[in-house]
Amino acid sequence: MSLPQSVALCDVGPRDGFQFEDQFIPTDLKVETITALADAGLPRIQVASFVHPKWVPQMKDAEAVCERLPERDDVTYAGLALNQRGLERAHAADLSQVDLSIATHDQHSQDNANRTVEEAVAQAEDMVRLAHEQGLDVQMGFQTVFGYRAPGDTPLDQVVDMSRHFADLGIESLSLADSTGLANPRMIKARVRAVRDVVGGTPLVLHLHDTRGLGLANVYAALQCGVDRFDTSLAGMGGCPFIDGATGNIATEDTTYLLEGLGIDTGVDRTVVGRASARLESFLEKEFPGKLHRLPRRAEAPGDGAPSE
């Protein structure tokens, strides 16, 4: 079995994690957190979503956050856009990448966006073209790839057809999301392999939730299929506020620990990420589901299990 030698993580906490919180996180603290993630070596950070504040009040300062991002050549800052207005705002905020996201399950698309998957695909096609005209890289994201109401109830042939279609449009990457946390390692392998067969050289990204405790097991299954890009969230913040029970992204610190233990390079300093996690826990007066950020550093070092001399 051959695993990737290195893996690139994208911390989605400043978007996916923050939007899950009812208490407004001040702009200063958002920028402080993003800066810490960049300093920790995260090569990609999803910094905001450009949505109407009526629906996601936490993101009302998206432009203010983007305006204050530290200039870094080694970090890609991305923003989520769900419609053309959001795309225009992302472009005006001077981001280099926009993340688009649509459902792959018909009922989820109706419940969440009041449109069919076919209608969502047509809108996303227009957004991809517009983003390219504006010089933006595009990550196309598919929601509920591994199930909406039950494991595997999203038709695989629909996911495969959509993957082929958007890969042909020249996207930077394709993100497959386990939005409801229903995936298991066997399903991860089957669906990742089916999609990889049709997208050519388009990189795959997995966006996994740990809702049922299988997040890191699913990471390992994806690694066995050659996936080398994952979305994570500091301290395991976040989820999807529009899907009941869709809580718990895989934690950046925990995922990094797993990868280090497998001999896979991430370039991420877990200590720096952990300090940012602790800062947010203190401000929000709550504990997040991640584990490693609360352990003393000496208890975190991965090893091979051999006794010390």
Looking at 3.40.190.10, 1.10.10.350, 3.20.20.70, 3.30.2130.10, the CATH number of the domain 8-294 comes to 3.20.20.70
pLDDT for res 242: 52
DSSP labels for the chain?
----SB-EEEE-IIIIIGGG-SSPPPHHHHHHHHHHHHHTT-SEEEEEE---TTT-GGGTTHHHHHHTPPP-SS-EEEEEESSHHHHHHHHHTT-SEEEEEEESSHHHHHHHHSS-HHHHHHHHHHHHHHHHHTT-EEEEEEESTTBSSSBT-S-HHHHHHHHHHHHHTT-SEEEEE-TTS---HHHHHHHHHHHHTTSTTPPEEEE-B-TTS-HHHHHHHHHHTT--EEEEBGGG--B-TTSTT-B-BPBHHHHHHHHHHTT-B----HHHHHHHHHHHHHHHTS--S-SGGGS-GGGT----SPPP-
Q: How far, in whole angstroms, is CA 12 from its chain's centroid?
A: 5
In the beta sheet, which residues pair with residue 260? none
pLDDT at 282 over 70: yes
Encode 11-24: b = buried (16+ Cβ within 10 Å), e = exposed. bbbbbbbbbbbeee
Instruction: Kindly list the catalytic residues.
Output: 240
Alpha carbons 18 and 34: distance in angstroms, whole number? 11
pLDDT in tens, 10-50: 999 999 999 989 999 999 999 999 999 999 999 999 999 99
Encode 129-160: b = buried (16+ Cβ within 10 Å), e = exposed. ebbeeeebbbbbbbbbbbbbeebbebebebbb
In the beta sheet, which residues pair with residue 46? 78
Average pLDDT over residues 47-58: 94
Average pLDDT over residues 181-198: 97
Alpha carbons 176 and 237: distance in angstroms, whole number? 19
pLDDT for res 296: 64
pLDDT in tens, 130-158: 999 999 999 999 999 999 999 999 999 99
pLDDT in tens, 106-130: 898 888 888 999 999 999 999 999 9
Average pLDDT over residues 244-262: 87
In the beta sheet, which residues pair with residue 232? 11
Sign, CA torsion 84/86/91/96: negative
For 101, other C-beta atoms within 10 Å of its C-beta total 20
The percentage of residues in the chain with a pLDDT greater than 90, rounded to a whole number, is 85
Phi, psi of 173 (to 5 degrees): -160, 165
Encode 216-245: b = buried (16+ Cβ within 10 Å), e = exposed. bbbbebbbbbebbbbbbbbbbbbbbbebee
pLDDT for res 210: 93
pLDDT for res 307: 39
pLDDT for res 238: 85
Tokens of 158: 């629909």
pLDDT at 301 over 70: no
* One-letter amino acid for residue 171 of the chain: I
pLDDT in tens, 255-266: 999 999 999 999
Tokens of 289: 């589901």
Alpha carbons 204 and 192: distance in angstroms, whole number? 8
